[in-house]
Amino acid sequence: MKAFEIPDFYRSPLITCIKQYRRKQDKLKKDFSPTRLDFGTVEIYLARHFGFCYGVENAIEIAFKAVNENPGKRIFLLSEMIHNPQVNADLIKNGVSFIMDTHGKHFIDWDELNQEDIVIIPAFGTTLETEKILTDLGIDPLRYNTTCPFVEKVWNRSEQIGQKGYTIIIHGKPGHEETRATFSHSREHAPSVVVKDFTEAQLLAKYITGEKPMDDFFTDFSGQYSKDFNPLTDLQRIGVVNQTTMLASDTQQISDYLKQVITQHHSDESQIHFADTRDTLCYATNDNQSAVVGLLETRAHLALVVGGYNSSNTSHLVELCEQKLPTYYIENAHHLVSDQKIKHFDLHLHKEIETLNYLPEVSKPKILMTSGASCPDAMVEQVINRVLSFYPGSLNMDQMIQQISSFD
């Protein structure tokens, strides 16, 4: 796999050492057991896979390349390049401005741009409508396009099955940048509709079978279907693709369910009513989620998940951990305020809260740890260091690196 040139301050000597060791021991990536780090006073178990994925490193390399290649020019990011506040803040420090937020609210109007400006497309991709606006302004939207290759794979697969007469069902969060971009591309080739979860998939099934009046569809899926969508005819042959950061198991559940519904509903076996789209699942999303499943086989006192609060893939890792043990979703090491207090994001309340006495009063606690695909390894190391500061007498980073290196 390609090695990307990203700033050294995103790297971590400890995490690099661990990942190199695990790759040597498990070249086929079949082992999803965690890495045990015994610091003497505390044990930390790191997920087998976590942190920057291929698409994120690709995006960071292109974004910093845009900065370095265009001194003196105005450089804009369409929206957050990835859902990590540190990375986006670093780009701002390097003179990059944001045109809009993650929900599409503009900070800068289109008419303020000119053909001399540089615009970076984020890793989530963008809509065809936005690409046209930039092109009409004389700005090449593909010059610094950081769209994840696996997102583009979903677009390509949508086009392929759309050309074969299938309607595209997109499993994703309707307001997420990636889902908006995928919806824009898919509706160019086929009728398209977004379902956010299994409940909405069950609702959609009632229109496939005719259990619900077709006119109700437009209320139930308001803002989530393509122009001129006809539920009576457009739900006869379907294929399911996904926002790449969703839980792979959820997408598979939706896909399997809709396949069962539509095949049972149609007695005509001369047509295939469901397209095989399993190859659109992102490998990094799968690996990170499988690694958390493996991580959770270890009995521990708590889990720390590091990543941006608006990161979809990180939130799903939190959901997995919450099923087994107390889990704290933090953006960085500063959120470990002290050994008595932690600031963390509550997925259910949709806000940051504080929890007291989060660390167990035991002689040698066990802590599970992972991070989202847009979280730098350096931030994970900082969190580990912060935890160690609460346990005097712990091994330091250099000692742990020496210990891991001795395993070779």
CA distance 91 to 372: 19
Using DSSP's 3-state secondary structure scheme, residue 389 falls into: helix
95 φψ region: left (φ > 0), alpha (ψ -120 to 50), beta (else): left
Q: Which of 57, 80, 177, 178 is catalytic?
A: 178
- Separation CA 241–CA 251 (nearest Å): 8
Q: Is 350 left (phi over 0), alpha (psi -120 to 50) or beta?
A: left
**353 CB-contact burial (10 Å; exposed 0-12 / middle 13-18 / buried 19+):** exposed
Query: Is 178 among the catalytic positions?
Result: yes
Contact between 307 and 314 under an 8 Å Cβ cutoff? The reply is yes
Asked whether 348 and 281 are in contact (CB, 8 A), the reply is no
Instruction: Give the span between the Cα atoms of 140 and 321, in whole angstroms.
Output: 42
Number of Cβ atoms within 10 Å of the Cβ of 369:
24
Whole-angstrom CA distances from 217 to 77, 221, 242 are 36, 6, 21
DSSP state of 225: B
CB 152 within 8 A of CB 226: no
At residue 103's C-alpha, the angle toward residues 238 and 335, to 5°, is 115
Contacts of residue 256, Cβ cutoff 8 Å, sequence gap at least 6: none
Structure tokens at 44: 């930390």
Instruction: Specify whether the CB–CB gap between 78 and 146 falls below 8 A.
Output: no
Q: State how far the alpha carbon of 288 is from the alpha carbons of 265, 326, 390, in Å.
A: 36, 19, 28
> Catalytic positions, please?
178
